[in-house]
Each structure stands twice: as C-alpha cells, then as structure tokens.
Structure 1
Amino acid sequence: MIQPLRGTYEDGNEAEAGSCPESYRPSRVPGAFKLLRGMPQDDKMEAGTMNDGPGTITVVERPEMNAIVLKTIRNGRDVREAWREIEQVMTDHPDRLHKDQGLVFIPEWQWTTSIETLWVGVEVASLEHIPQGFETMSIPARKFARTTVRGDRTRMDHTYDALWKWFDTEGYKRDMTESSYGYELNRLSPVNPFHIPADKINDFDFDIYAPILSN
C-alpha cells in the first residue's frame, strides 16, 4: 500500500525502494488489515460521493472511541500474533464492546514515510480495567472518510487508491498530523480474518476510517 517505499507486505513480498509521491498516494496495502461488513450504527452520515471504482466514500461523524490495544510492527504475521494475545485476554473482558469486531489502528503521520507500527485491539466501554502489558487508545469524536474494501487483493488496492484520489478531488484533507490515527474495523464472524494466515487470505471485506483534518 505504501509503494514505492521499501517494506514487507502480508504476502511476504518486498516493496520497491523509492520516495513517497507528493500526494502520498499508495499503490499497495500494508500487510495487516482485514474485514468488516456493514456500517456501525453510531456512524452519522454527512455526505457521500461515488469513487471511480470500488464503491462509495462517505463522510461520517464518529463518537469518541476507547480501545485496549497491543502495539506491533507492520506485517501480517506479527499482527496476527498480537491478535492472539488480545483474544486470550479480552474475549471475556467485562468492558469489551462489539465482540464481533477487531480494530487495527494506523498512525496517519507515518504515511509520509512508511507505515512501520500498528496497534491491534478491541473497543471498550471503560479504560479502568487495563490488563497488564496492554496499552490504551483513545480516538476523539471527529469526522472520517469511510469506505469499504470487498474483494480480492486487486480490489483492495483499487479501493485504497480511490480513497487517496477522493481526498485529492473532493475538498477534504486527510489528517496526517502527529497523533492522528485512522483505523480499520474488522468483522470477526462468520470468518475471523486474523485466524487466516497472511499469505493465504485473498478475500477482503472491511471498512477503512481515514481521519479528516478539521477546518
């Protein structure tokens, strides 16, 4: 997703070396992120436009979200290992919300160079009971551009490309300032994508939330 930067993707291939284009528009997807069907009920829709291929990109307002997370490096194997630890500790956690969803948080400021770190976790109602060795993530209420990836790797790449083009043409700016996070919201049923090896999965269905810079 961050090509032509050098890095390892979930299929084990290495991206080409080079510099980030002026718009920071990726042509491949970091090897970590997976599935979601549907739209969360607490999304408030503001506006939408059809992009040039994969589907609709919509501006939504999301309420504040708190999560318990683990930090990991950006590759499919390590993301899945982090998820296994999340699953072991958080499956029956009393504050966990949306037990059919898993989150991968993306440090937006790293788009200007290369996405190196990710945070894997689950949404919680409270940050009062944090398991030892885990971290917390708080995303303030704000606007996001939301789009859905459905299909194979080629469709996934096209969807990411379309999202960057949307920011270039629709009058919104992606918030890539320090401490700004986007995220991918993954449905864990009927198939949990974190249980599928990174080099095997080729059927994607998840939502991307890209933060919008406020005026």
Structure 2
Amino acid sequence: MSETVDTRGTRAKLIDVAERLFAEFGVESVSLRTVGIEAGQRNNSAAQYHFGSKDGLITAIIEVRSADVDARRARLVAALRASAAPPTVPQLIDLLVVPLVETITASGERTWYLRFLANVMDHPMLDAPWRPRSDGADAAGPPDPPGLRYMHRELRRLLPGLPDAEFERRLRWQGMTAFRLLADYERQRATTDAAPPAEQVVADLNAMLTALLQAPHPAA
C-alpha cells in the first residue's frame, strides 16, 4: 500500500515539476534527467522510469490537468443541450475558453498549464489540444474530449457557407489564438498586479474568436 502511495506521489511531483519547467523553458530545452533532479529524486532516471519518454510525460501532464477542464466543459455542454434555443457561435466558443481561463483563476495560486500547453501545442507527437482528433482512437496523445467534438460539430452546422478547408483553418487559428493569448494572461497574472479580470479576458477573447470564425468568405 505504502509503495503505491509513494509511486503516485512521485509521479505527481514529477508532473508538477515538468509542467513548470516545460512552461518556463520549452519542451526541447528540458531533459527528463533535469525533471528528476528538480523534483528532488535521488534516481536521475525517475522520470524515464515512470513515463518512458518525454512524449509520455507530456501526455501524462495533459491527461491529469485536462480532467477538470473536460469535466467543466461537459457541464457547459449539458447546459447548452438543455436549453430550448440552439447554441450560438459565442456560446460554443465559451466551451473552449471558459474552462481554460478557470484553470488559471480557480485556485488563486500560480499556475503553469496554459504556458505549458502553448509550448507543447506544436510538438510533433501531439494533436492540437484545442480540437478533437480526426484520426481515431489509436492516435498519439490523450483521449478525444467529447466537449470539443460537440463544439466542432455545432460550429460546422452554424457556418455552412465556409468550405471545409477554410473551416478547419479558422478552427485551428481559433485554438492557436486562444492558447497563446491565455498563456500570456497566465504569465501576466503571475508577474504583475495589472492583469485584467477574468471576465474581461473571456469577453474580449470570445469577441475576437467569434469575428474570426464568422468573417465573410468569398465562397459564401
């Protein structure tokens, strides 16, 4: 029993430290050995032992951190489904933005997750973390979040005039914009007292992403 608890504690410590280091210095600049040393492990190969590789560690961080995000997103989806009115584009964008902003503000403590995601979003082993996977359950990375599948499907229904390639491009830009800007907001909250309130960040980002998705297209 104690061995299992110790193992879980070690994994959690390695995940916390790796998330911070990847957020601060980038994925390529941080080795598994460095993660083990910074986590206070006497065995410098501890991260490799627990996660197998840097890709495995990245996936573990996302799986742990995304659990609350996916649960919150599922509750927002349930509220939209329960409404008599169909969802609007801004409401669907909130499915992406609101749970992410809450990871920064909910605990009142310093966070690293959005900066971590911004640094790993272009990692070759990882599908874009803001959208559902299109290549099936065997793809690398964490499971396909159902809340994002719902967002993707409903946005496609609301924007029928966009060609598929244009819709996919705008969806990608939406995610890239959200992650980069929220990473900057997370950094701002950690380093200054001048960060705007979360409600303003959500409203401003939503307005920006709504304009991006609904911008006229010649094919329409």
TM-score range relative to shorter protein:
under 0.3
Question: Greater share of helix residues, 1 or 2?
Answer: 2
Select the structure that is richer in strand.
1
